[in-house]
Structure formats: structure tokens, C-alpha cells
Structure 1
Amino acid sequence: MTDPDVGAIMGFSGFGKKARTFDLEAIFEQTRRTAIERSRKVLEEERSVERPYEPTSCAGRSGSPSRKGHTGDSTRSPGDSESGCDDTDNESEKSGPTLPSQMCRLDVEGESPVGPPLPLGYGKQQCETDEEDDEEEEDDEDENPLKRIPDSHEITLTHGKKTVSALGLDPSGARLVSGGYDYEVKLWDFAGMDASLQAFRSLQPCECHQIKSLQYSSTGDVILCVAGSAQAKVLDRDGFQVMECVKGDQYIVDQAKTKGHTAMLNSGVWHPKIKEEFVTCSNDGTVRTWDMNTEKKHKSIFKPRSVQGKRVIPTTCVYSRDGKLIAAACQDGSIQIWDRNLNVHTKFHNRQAHVPGSDTSCLSFSYDGNTLASRGGDDTIKSWDMRNFRNPLNVASGLPNIFPMTDCCFSPDDKLLVTGTSVKRGQENGKLVFFHRETFQKLYEIEVTDASVIRCLWHPKLNQIMVGTGNGLAKVYYHPVKSQRGAKLCVVKTKRKAKQSQTVTQEYVITPHALPMFREPRQKSTRKQLEKDRLDPVKSHKPEPPVSGPGRGGRVGTHGGTLSSFIVKNIALDKTDDSNPREAILRHAKEAEQNPYWVAPAYVKTQPHAVFATPEAEEEVEDDEPEWKKRKL
């Protein structure tokens, strides 16, 4: 059947109208011409009244001007002349009102605003002024890097009462993790905290081992926890264990034959590019790399050696910024650097980097990867050029260091070097010292607290400085304008009110259309209603009193409720009768003999005559017996 036949049977003439088709190119072309005509009319009207500015190009352009010099090719209308456009080019840059900043941005960036296109040069003077101001501010900051230090405001996070020995920030800067000598690891969420600054989770992942290092991975989904044990652990963002490294056999001499560390760990960091790989160093004299997917064995092993070829203990280790090098500082004062893929010989080494026997506490690569900073246990900080590793570039001394994990780090612009100083508690104030990277000139210092400054982090995204101290505090320094998010999110939140004790109250239900007999009376005072509800045993869930008497409803009665307990309590355990039990029985003998009731009537005819020994007869028998037969009383 054809379509008309089906339509006739079903009662309609067709299956609907054909969809309309649009020629988009023709519509766009018509819109462009309309915009050109409107722009031409507007400019002609302005020219006829007065000329506040001269256009730099033809009025009939369809697009916006090019960014370079504003003299690029543009679409011209047929009625415009070439000379008219060129003559007004210089005048337009000097004349005309200034535009708002958003209009300047559109003019400079080459974007077309909503409405008719603006002539070239309109608002250029204002844009140039703003750009000059921005350039002047940048020049001032370049000349004086101290203006980049965010130290105008601070917040204090209370970790505990002992030393904060580890700090870590995730790449986005949303969470902070802190660890200390009290074996605790605390997680802080800047977006979830209020002004009370309380950690949202506290745990002890390594039991009774001091926390040495904490670091988020490059993706921020897991945390590397290095403690005083021989096994490093990987935790997720909520603190739950994901992986634990295997422990090696401590009775095997060759450390390459063991699957893991056999002594206390000193440090550990994540690979900057590969999110599953991390490196640890230990007192067993090895530096090992690990893969999260294979926790039963290390990935590769590096053995630092002294000048005599003997084993030395690495105190800290770190990856380079590109992840191709692994650097370790040792107890003999040396710094040894290996290629990540070649673990036999070192690529760079310096045997006399620091004083032998002093534990170098930190190694840090600059953001450009050309400079390595080392914080020594000999109260110095040094910078090294990776292209010439024989001699240090600069040395700064007089910086006390008594902790094996004192940090040093570079500023986000790579122009400053920051480290902390150690002091005896209560005598001086620990300081955060800033040095110029090139000249090692001491530019600035911050007195943090009356204890040592151990850990310091300068987050590049937040532009905030996190500091861990020896008295259990973690401080965050920030600037309200130069810093982003982080501590700024929690200081503006008011403290949450403490939840009131839960009281049982009956909610008042408003029923406007209910009958008077079903309408609930409204309570005028909440306090009175609470007092009434407190006295009501049903609303206050008053516990049932103990059962008195025999039990009922499946409940056991109290002592004395049953017959047996009554007999035990009142008869068997009655201690009021102190008489002789024989005398108590013989009191009833005369009555039983005269009026027998139970036993005697049944044996009246057969009962023999009872003969009992009297006390006098017993005495006579005892006298006749010899002494050795007498019973001892």
C-alpha cells in the first residue's frame, strides 16, 4: 500500500511535514552584512555630530583588529578609502576616552566584544597604562624578592606536645599531613576545617616508631610514610594502609641478596614523574627503589661507598626534578648521585661535601634542575652546580642543626633558599632564614617560636610556607593577596557551636484545620515542656524498675521472689536461733510420746521398748575402762 492509501484508511492526509532545512552559510553572511551596515551608520552619525576620536581602520570591518600594531589586513567596505584609514592612525592612539579593563582586554587580545566592533586604538591608552603598572610591579618584585615572601599572616596547627618531624602537602594544596616523635600522623583538610583548626583524623600507622618522612605522591592519592622501622608504608588519603614494604633477612651479609631493608629507615620520597615508584634509604647502608605494584621485593638497589670502598650509611635521599637522578647524603660527609637506571657507579660524587660524622639532613634540587642545596649537620647550608660538582657554589654557616631531618627548600620563583635553625628549647627562638640563591646573602628571617624549626615547605601553587617545630606546632604563613586557598579557606570560617545534649522533646505539629478536640495545645515555654517531658516515663525512656516478687514476662524475679529463695532466705539461713540442735529436737519428744501422730501409731504393736543409756551409766563405764582406752575429749 502506498502512503496515500494508508493515510486514507487511518484518517489523516500525511505522515507530517517535511523538516525545514537552513542554509547556515547564507545566514552567517546576512548577519555579517547587517553588522557592517549598523557599524557604518553608527560611525557616520558620530562623525556628523563631533569627532572625539579618529578610527585607525575602515569602519566597515567584520572582524576585530589584529594584535600586532593594529595595521593588519582587515575587511573594508566598498565606500571607504585607503587614505582615510592611514591618516587617522596616529591620532587615534592619542585621542579618545578610556575604556574599562574588560574592554581593553578584548582590544589587546584580539577578541570581538558583543555588539558592533570597536575601532582600533579605542582604549589603547588605558590598556598601555595598566600594562605599564603591572610591569613596574613585576620589576619591583624582581629587584626585591622579599616582596614575594608570604609572611604577613599565620595560623598555628597543634599537632601534639613532641617534635613535628614530618610534613607533607598534596600537589593541589588541599590537605596537609603531619607526623611527629609521638608516633602520631594527623591529617588536616583546609577546606573542611573551621577557625578551631582541628585535624580530621589522627592515627599511628607505624605503632611505636617515630615518623621520619611523609610525602604525597605526584597525583596526591597516596602518602608515603617512613618511620623508624625497617618497613615503609603507603597510606591512602584517609590514612588507611595500602602497601607495606617487605623486610629483608638481617642475617644475609650481601644486602643485594635481600628483598628489603634490614635496619631503621632514614628518609624516603616519591618519584616526581612515575606515581607508583619511590625511594628509601636505611641504616643498612643501601638506597632502594620500590614499586607499589610489587611490594614483595625492591625494584633496584644502590650501595654508597666510602673512599676505602666500605659501607656508609645514607642519611637522606631525593630524586632530581626530572626523576633521572637519585642523590643521597652519607654519614661520612659525602654526597653521591646515581643515574636512576645505572646502579653500579655514581654519576656525580663529592667525598668532602660536609664534615665527616655529621648527618646531612636534607638535599633539595632547584626547579630548573641545575642547583642542588644540602643542609648539613655541621651547621652549614651549601649550594652545588650540577654541571661542576667538585666545589660548592656558595656556603652559609652559623646555622645550628641538631635534628636529622632539618629541611631546606627553594622558593617557587627559584630565587630564594629557605632553611630552619635549631635552638635549645626556652633559650632562644627558632628562625626561618631566607638566602638569595645566587649570592647567598641573608635577606630575611622569621622568628617562628621558642623551639627548633625543623620542617619547612613552600608550596608553589598556594604560595604558602608550612613550618614544623620542635614543640609540636605546625605553622602556616600566608599573604591574603599573594597566596591562594590553603589557610585562607579555614580562617574565614567561624567555629562550629558545640552540639547541645540530646533532650527528648515532643515536636509541635501545627494542624490549622483540625477539630478542637484533636488540636494540640501550643506550648508557650520550651523549658517547661522539657521539664514535663523529663517527668514523663514514656517520653524520657525511663528504665523499668527491678521485678519485685516472682518473675513475669520472661524477667527473672529478685532474690526472695521464688519459694526456694524464700526458704533459703528465711529458714535455712536464719541465724537468729543460736540453741543446740539436739535440745531443739528434744523439746518435742514429750509431746511426741504422749500424742503420737506420724510414726508411733503405725508401730504400736511391734515397736520394741527403747533402752537408752543414761549419762550416769556412761560415766560408770568410763571409770571402769583403762586410761589408754578412754576417749579423748
Structure 2
Amino acid sequence: MSKKISFGKITLNFQKETKDDPSISGFGTFGRTPIQEQKEIETIAEDLENQHVHKVMGIKNFGKKAKQFDVEEMVERARKTAQENALQKPAPPDDINAVSVIRPVPKESTHSESDDELIGPPIPTSLTSKKTSEDKKSGDDSYGELSGSDDEDLPLDKQIPYTHEVEMLHGCKAVVALAVDPSGARLATGSIDYDVSFWDFAGMDSSMRSFRTLQPCENYPIRALQYSATGDSILVVSGSAQAKVLDRDGFEVLECVKGDQYINDMAKTKGHTAALNSGCWHPQIREEFMTCSQDGTLRLWLTDNPKQHKSVIKPRQQGGLKTNPTSCIFSRDGNVVACGCYDGSIQMWDHRKNFVNTSTLLRDAHQKQSEITSISFSYLGNHLSSRGNDDTLKLWDLRAFKKPLHVFGGLFSRYEQTDCGFSPDDAMIFTGESLQRNQDTGRLLFYNVKTFEKVTQMDVTKSHVIKAVWHAKLNQIFVGCGNGVVKCYYDNKRSLRGAKLCIVKTHRKKQSVEIVSSQQIITPHALPLFKQEKLRTSKKKMEKDRLDPVKSQRPDLPITSGQGGRVAASGSTLSSFVIRNLGLSKRVDDDQDPREAILKYAKEAEENPFWVAPAYKKTQPMPIFTNDEDGASDAKKPKTEK
């Protein structure tokens, strides 16, 4: 007995066995007619139910009756039809009419209802494989063209979007921070000259000028910038101990609190106590971000409460002493917190647990006493790249995190923010290189993740290459250089929006508005309140205002006579200044000799003493002078022989 499919309470048996009707043959039956078949029982139950529905609701049934199909019989018919079509000659793919679609029809459908009224599962077609092959040949509306699957056939060096480049000038100092919002509409650049510039691709023209430049952290160099997952905020990490969060237009939203630097235990303070090194946003939680500092801690913050950190992480050295984290990052799913430390170690914690013990710890990942400038997770989350100031770039497999998959050496780095990252398809890894003495051009290098071979190198500029960001949505590469230049590389065919929007706009100078003078009405006998000023040419009016010391804001004129600045108006010496301020009538000449001025009154003082002699007149003894004529010998005078 084959299995039946029933819809509702209706069951149709396509393979019903024919039985003899007892009412025709023999004597029939005595008494009540026995009910033998299940179908009759269900029919009677359905009639009773319909009567009850009609009595209560006023309707007999709900919609049309569902049809029942024998799936095994339909599949058998489809198999036979497919075998017959396979023996025949296939029709050309261009002729659509040559393809005939055969649908198996139930037995009772020819005399019951039309095909449009059938209710049930879709009927399998026999030519599904043929139609699929025809769609592949035609290529109309193929998913491969829309999704860009043709890039998989290209070599890796052709997948890098660097056919065109655009140069933007941030300043004259090194650009050590780059951030592109998730939508790719804006770019933020930070430098060691304390400035943060904002670039809007939709509003810029071919002159490539930023629409806003500000100093959010006063006289502190910018260390890191990153847009949040929603793109409405940007995290600014500077050389100070306090991180800031700005909105899209550059206005300050919050500032983290500074900790107490006299407390030894960093877990007891509410914030960082030393200069920051790096910071990043959580990829899933929009209000959470992380910062790392030279005080030896990583701190998690919430934008709702900037007055106190959410959690504190303290990385440790081999002996248990604290070490400074130089770079930090979240994993793509946000479940792992990773940092690179000054002792050369890479330490990770599980974000879903407390941060007491590390979930993954690797000592000697890079050279000790050298900064790990950047660590980056791959998009799939299986690989990790780390860049250090020991001139190496290392590729790690997180499933076997004991030894690196490969070490790319000979990559000189001068800055603590030298970046590294993965391509959007995780096929390549890239990093920048600083200039050495014998080099003239900074390079951006790309390596194959699987074969570890150098794919290509891009000569960027005649300076250091510090930051590099490959935006997956725009398919454009932004590079920050040591001479204050920011370069954007894109492919005219495979890149979207971004720099392509503004490079086609021409820069137009603002036209000066011409001033049209109003008609002059001459009223010679008008009152002074209503009298109009006689119009003059701008040149004469400017000459007149120039002569006016008030309108021209003329400074005080210098002193022509005397010495010593403005004191010379009252005398160059203190005594002359005091005498003149005492109001004496006689003017003291500062240029004359003071000895001559005193001797000028010697004769008058001897004849008419006024100050000293009258004071000692009564007690002054008579002066007795020696006389040389008396012949008294002087003891000190040498004797001479006669």
C-alpha cells in the first residue's frame, strides 16, 4: 500500500482497489448497511462538521478543497519523460519555443477543476537542468557579474586598486593616524602637528581640500583615530592621558577622566595617568571603546559614563612586572581583546569573561624592548598580523599560535604607529616601510598570505609610509606619509565612490559681488539729521581715513629726544626723573658733566656757606696748618745731602 499525502480532512486515493458493490450482487444486506471504508467514515464526519459550521457561522466550508497527489506516481512519470527527452535530439539554446514543459496531471483533475485551482506542493519539472545550463550560457542577470566574482580569476597584483591616485595635503608633519567611516563618505587624518582634518568626498572638488581642521587635544600629538561602527562618532587618542570622542563634524562629545597619578595600583584610579598609545572601538557594541596607555593598563570605556572606566586590564611581563601596551585591538566579532606589549609579547583576553587571566599569551612574539606598532585580525578571524619596530612583519595562525607562519624581514620602521592589515578577501597582507639612508622613496608592500611571496610594491612618496587603510566597501587604499601627504589609490572600474566622486568636480573660484551705488539725491537745505553725506571715491576716502589717528588706529609715536624709552621724557637717570617730578623750576641738563656742575658752585659755597659750615660753626676748632718755612723736617721726606 503506497503512502498517501492528505491536505486537511480530504483524502483521495489514486490507486483505489475496485470492490464489488454488495447492493448489486446477491441478496444484499439485512438491517443497517455496514460502513467498511475509511473514506466513508471521513465523509460522514465532514458532513456533520459542515452542518455544525453552517448552523453556527452561516457558511458551509472554508475555500476550495485541497487536491491530493501521489508523489511516487508523479516522480515516476517525470523520470520516464526525462528518459524520452534524453533520447531525442536536444533543441538549440536560442530557441525558447523548442523547450516543452511537461507537467504530470492527476487522474481526477481532467474532469474536476482547472489547473489554476490546484492547491498543493509544486510539481517537479523535468527540464530544470537544461534551463539552468541555458541561463549560464546566456549570462543575463548573472550573479557573478553583480558580485564581482571575476576578480577571483585575476592575479593578485591586478586585484589591488592602484591604477589611479589622488593626493591630499594635510600639513607639513607626519600623518600618523587615518580613519575612514564605515560608509566611506568621510576621512579623518591626524598628525603630530596636533591637527585633525576632516575630508568629505561628496562635498570636495578636485582641489581636495578638507572642510574642517581643528586641534581637539590642544598641544598633544595625535596617536590614533577611528570611527565607530555606526560612523556617528570618532575616537581621538592623543599624547595626553585623556581620550576624546568627537561627532562627525568634529565637535567634542565627551572626554575621559584623568586618573590619580599618586596611586600605585592602577585599578584603583578612574582613568589613565600617563600618555596614551592607541585606542579602538568595539565592533559590535556601539557605545564601548578601549584605550591603552604608558601607565601599563588597558581600559574599557562606555560613552554613557566617561567619568570612570568600565574595566581595567593589566598586562604582565614574564616575571610578573607590568609592561606597557603599545597597540590594542578587538577581534572582528568583538569577543577577544588583544594587545601588543613593549616586552615583545602578544596577549589576549576573552571579552565575555573577567580580565584576570589571559586566554592566549605568546611571549617573544617580537624583539624585547621594542614597540609592536600594530596588530590586525583577518576578516575570517583565522589569522593575525603583527608589525614591530624590530623591522619585521609576522603572520600568525590563531589555531596554532605558537610559531608564526612566516616572518617578513627587512622592513624598517621609525614610527610607533606603522600599520599593517589584510585585504578584504584575506588573500594579501600589506604594510608600510620607512625610509633608510640609502633609500629615496617610501614603499607600500603586499605579500601573499598562502605562498608568503611578495605580490607587488607601490612607490608612494619621497618620505616614510606610516599608515595604510584598505577600505573594503570603497575598494580604495588610503596611505598616510611622513611629509604630511595623504594619498588615495583606487581602480576606475572596481572602486566605488570615495575619491572618484570629487576628482571629477572642477574647482571654481568664488566670484566677487559687484557693489552698485545707489542714486544720490542732493538736498542742500536739509537738516543735518537727514542730510546725505557727499559721495567720494574710495581712494580719497581711504586717504582721509588714513590721516585720522582714530580711524587708522595709529600707535603712539616714538620719542625723538633722550634715551631709555619713554623715561627719556622725564630724564634718562633716576635722579633727573625725581627732580623733575618734584616740580623744581630749574631744568637739569642730563648731558653735562656732574663734576663741572658741582665745581660751578664752589666759590659761592666758600663765600656764603649754607649747609655744612653753619652747622659746625660753634664747635669747629681753628685749623692749624704746617708751615714749610719753619724748617721742620718731614719724617717721610727723604733726606738729601748738601
Q: Pick from 267, 275, 287 the counterpart of residue 286 of structure 2.
A: 275
Label 1:262 to 1:127 Cα distance change in 2 as closer, same or farther (>3 A).
Answer: same
Aligned to 2:385: 373
Partner AA of 1:182 in structure 2: D
Work out whether 1:325 is the aligned partner of 2:336: yes
Label 1:630 to 1:490 Cα distance change in 2 as closer, same or farther (>3 A).
Answer: closer
Output aligned runs, 1:232-311, within 5 Å.
232-311=243-322
Contact map agreement 2:144 2:150 (CA 8 A) in 1: no
SS at match of 2:501: helix
Deviation at 1:133, TM superposition (A): 8.6
Label 1:195 to 1:57 Cα distance change in 2 as closer, same or farther (>3 A).
Answer: same
SS at match of 2:516: coil
Aligned to 2:402: 390
Which structure has the greater CA radius of gyration? 2
Percent identity over the alignment is 50
Label 1:629 to 1:404 Cα distance change in 2 as closer, same or farther (>3 A).
Answer: closer
Aligned to 1:515: none
Contact map agreement 2:151 2:159 (CA 8 A) in 1: no
SS at match of 1:209: coil
What TM-score do the two structures reach when normalised by structure 1?
A: 0.62
Work out whether 1:475 is the aligned partner of 2:518: no
Aligned to 1:361: 373
Deviates more, 1:378-387 or 1:358-367: 378-387
Q: Which runs of 5+ in 1 are unaligned?
A: 1-24, 26-50, 61-74, 79-85, 94-106, 109-120, 509-534, 547-625
What TM-score do the two structures reach when normalised by structure 2?
A: 0.62
Aligned to 2:423: 411
Contact map agreement 1:423 1:429 (CA 8 A) in 2: yes
Work out whether 1:156 is the aligned partner of 2:160: no
Deviation at 1:141, TM superposition (A): 2.8
Deviation at 1:543, TM superposition (A): 8.4
RMSD: 3.6
Label 1:125 to 1:459 Cα distance change in 2 as closer, same or farther (>3 A).
Answer: closer
Label 1:195 to 1:300 Cα distance change in 2 as closer, same or farther (>3 A).
Answer: same
Aligned to 1:444: 456
Partner AA of 2:310 in structure 1: K
Partner AA of 1:54 in structure 2: N
Deviations 1:558-578 (A, max 9, x none): xxxxxxxxxxxxxxxxxxxxx
Deviation at 1:147, TM superposition (A): 2.0
Aligned mates of 1:399, 1:230 — CA distance in 2: 31
Deviates more, 1:412-421 or 1:424-433: 424-433
Deviation at 1:389, TM superposition (A): 1.3
Partner AA of 2:348 in structure 1: I
Aligned to 2:210: 199
Label 1:260 to 1:142 Cα distance change in 2 as closer, same or farther (>3 A).
Answer: farther
Aligned mates of 1:262, 1:397 — CA distance in 2: 35
Deviations 1:50-76 (A, max 9, x none): x9653424699xxxxxxxxxxxxxx96
Aligned mates of 2:374, 2:466 — CA distance in 1: 11
Label 1:202 to 1:140 Cα distance change in 2 as closer, same or farther (>3 A).
Answer: closer
Deviation at 1:145, TM superposition (A): 2.3
Deviates more, 1:177-186 or 1:137-146: 137-146
Label 1:135 to 1:473 Cα distance change in 2 as closer, same or farther (>3 A).
Answer: closer
Aligned to 1:54: 97
Label 1:425 to 1:450 Cα distance change in 2 as closer, same or farther (>3 A).
Answer: farther
Aligned mates of 1:278, 1:226 — CA distance in 2: 11
Output aligned runs, 1:391-540, within 5 Å.
391-424=403-436, 427-500=439-512, 502-505=513-516, 536-537=535-536
Deviation at 1:420, TM superposition (A): 0.4
Label 1:278 to 1:133 Cα distance change in 2 as closer, same or farther (>3 A).
Answer: closer
Deviation at 1:544, TM superposition (A): 12
Contact map agreement 1:58 1:76 (CA 8 A) in 2: no
Partner AA of 1:429 in structure 2: T
SS at match of 2:286: coil
Deviation at 1:339, TM superposition (A): 1.1
Label 1:148 to 1:541 Cα distance change in 2 as closer, same or farther (>3 A).
Answer: farther
SS at match of 2:354: coil
Contact map agreement 2:412 2:436 (CA 8 A) in 1: no
Output aligned runs, 1:138-157, within 5 Å.
138=149, 141-142=152-153, 144-157=155-168
Contact map agreement 1:425 1:452 (CA 8 A) in 2: no
SS at match of 2:372: coil
Aligned mates of 1:271, 1:162 — CA distance in 2: 30
Output aligned runs, 1:502-581, within 5 Å.
502-505=513-516, 536-537=535-536
SS at match of 1:361: strand
Deviation at 1:213, TM superposition (A): 0.2
Deviation at 1:204, TM superposition (A): 0.4
Q: Pick from 356, 359, 375 the counterpart of residue 344 of structure 1.
A: 356
Q: Which runs of 5+ in 2 are unaligned?
A: 1-62, 64-93, 104-113, 118-124, 520-533, 546-605, 612-642
Deviation at 1:234, TM superposition (A): 0.5
Label 1:136 to 1:498 Cα distance change in 2 as closer, same or farther (>3 A).
Answer: closer
Contact map agreement 1:59 1:76 (CA 8 A) in 2: no
Work out whether 1:216 is the aligned partner of 2:227: yes
Deviations 1:483-527 (A, max 9, x none): 000000000000122332x4312699xxxxxxxxxxxxxxxxxxx
Label 1:142 to 1:378 Cα distance change in 2 as closer, same or farther (>3 A).
Answer: farther
